[in-house]
């Protein structure tokens, strides 16, 4: 309590105590025989008037401070209502702040994930180039013509493995598949596809390493590669996946397919397909993070295209002189 309030409280107690104290003193005086006789001798009505006056004064003081208390209580109640209203607004603001913090943390974690994917591949680019050059020298030294369908899978598998390991290590509750499918033409003009890289925590699919004739294959990877569509395909939820990937049968929650264009042709002609799948064994990526993953895969798809470009050079016949 501050000094002003303390002074008011003391003044109130004094005023409320005046009448009872005076009545007490007056009662003590009346108890003295000599004083009692003198008052009666002078005028008996003085006693009655004095007592009534003191009682009225005391009642008036009580009523006044009662009104003061009521007004203060009313003001306090009004202030409490305002405080409660402010507390509700503060709680609402705190919820918004917490929501913004969660959203910001989610975005930060997503950006970290994307950065780790890009870093994990870029920092090993030198190793990748060395492997490709080594393959070229081997082919050149052997002076043999390599066929496209004998595509060297090590580099592609390495890239898919890096993508898988970076994401799965940081999103342990989400089960993913990262795979790559190539398209090639053999003698006779028949076009085939083959899944040459696959990374998953569960098991390898039945299509892994299996040569499939694109004209008769009904799976979605064949549909994409046969159409020579070079635009990415993104399916954000289970309903979209099941509508498009008829072979999914409830196994997948999300899907990204990124066709790789033939680096030796200007017109649309896909030679490979990056597939990023979220399996139903775990949780889904939030849509915004899933879009960031798509953007990242698009940004690093040139690595896959470069491998095809170098491989096509390796596949050319080596001529003497």
Quote the pLDDT of residue 251. 87
- Stretch 58-83: mean pLDDT: 77
Q: 112: burial class by Cβ within 10 Å (0-12, 13-18, 19+)?
A: exposed
Question: Which part of the chain is CATH 3.30.450.40?
Answer: 152-315
Per-residue tokens: 315: 């596949």
Residues 138-161 have a mean pLDDT of 62
Taking alpha carbons only, the member of 311, 279, 272, 260 closest to residue 164 is: 279
CA nearest to 252, candidates 174, 171, 194, 161: 174
Q: Are 273 and 92 in contact (CB under 8 A)?
A: no
Of the candidates 160, 165, 161, 166, the one whose C-alpha atom is nearest the C-alpha of residue 180 is 160
Q: Kindly report the average pLDDT of the chain as a whole number.
A: 76
Give the pLDDT score at 147: 41
Q: For residue 234, what pLDDT is reported?
A: 94
State which CATH number among 3.30.450.40, 3.40.50.2000, 3.30.200.20, 1.10.3720.10 fits the domain covering 152-315.
Answer: 3.30.450.40
Nearby residues of 171 by Cβ (< 8 Å), 6 or more positions away: 113, 285
Q: In DSSP terms, which residues pair with 183 in a beta bridge?
A: 193
209/274: higher pLDDT: 274
**Higher model confidence: residue 228 or residue 143?**
228
277 — pLDDT class (breaks 50, 70, 90): very high
Which position has the token pair 């994917």?
117
- Is residue 58 pLDDT above 80, yes or no? no
pLDDT > 90: percent of the chain: 16
State the pLDDT at residue 256.
Answer: 96
Is 177:200 a contact under the CB 8 Å cutoff? yes
Q: What is the pLDDT of residues 230-276, one digit of tens each?
A: 889 999 999 999 888 877 778 899 999 999 988 777 777 889 999 99
- Give the pLDDT confidence score for residue 140 in this predicted structure: 54
Beta strands 176-185 and 191-200: pairing type? Answer: antiparallel
Dihedrals φ, ψ of 125, to 5°?
-60, -40
Helix (H, G, I), strand (E, B) or coil at 205: coil
Give the confidence band of 317 by pLDDT, cuts at 50, 70, 90: very low
The values of phi and psi at residue 303, to 5°, are -60, -45
Whether 284 has a pLDDT exceeding 70, the answer reads: yes
């Amino acid at each position: 309590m501050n000094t002003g309030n303390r002074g008011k409280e003391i003044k109130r107690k004094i005023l409320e105590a005046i009448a009872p104290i005076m009545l007490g003193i007056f009662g003590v005086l009346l108890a003295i025989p000599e004083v009692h006789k003198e008052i009666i001798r002078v005028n008996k009505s003085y006693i009655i008037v004095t007592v009534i006056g003191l009682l009225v004064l005391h009642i008036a003081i009580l009523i006044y401070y009662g009104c003061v208390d009521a007004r203060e209580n009313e003001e306090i109640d009004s202030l409490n209502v305002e405080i409660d209203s402010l507390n509700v607004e503060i709680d609402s603001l705190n919820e918004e702040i917490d929501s913004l913090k969660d959203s910001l943390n989610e975005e930060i974690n997503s950006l970290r994930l994307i950065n780790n994917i890009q870093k994990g591949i870029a920092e090993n680019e030198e190793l990748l180039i060395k492997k490709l050059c080594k393959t070229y020298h081997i082919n050149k030294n052997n002076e043999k013509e390599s066929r496209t369908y004998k595509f060297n899978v090590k580099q592609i598998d390495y890239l898919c493995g890096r993508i898988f390991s970076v994401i799965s290590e940081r999103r342990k509750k989400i089960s993913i598949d990262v795979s790559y499918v190539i398209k090639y033409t053999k003698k006779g003009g028949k076009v085939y596809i083959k899944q040459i890289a696959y990374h998953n925590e569960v098991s390898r699919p039945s299509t892994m390493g299996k040569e499939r004739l694109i004209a008769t294959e009904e799976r979605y990877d064949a549909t994409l590669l046969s159409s020579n569509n070079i635009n990415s395909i993104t399916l954000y939820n289970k309903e979209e996946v099941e509508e498009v990937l008829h072979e999914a049968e409830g196994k997948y929650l999300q899907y990204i397919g990124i066709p790789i264009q033939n680096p030796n042709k200007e017109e649309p002609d896909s030679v490979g397909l990056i597939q990023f799948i979220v399996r139903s064994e775990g949780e889904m990526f939030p849509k915004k993070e899933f879009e960031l993953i798509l953007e990242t895969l698009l940004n690093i798809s040139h690595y896959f295209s470069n491998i095809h470009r170098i491989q096509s050079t390796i596949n050319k016949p080596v001529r003497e002189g």
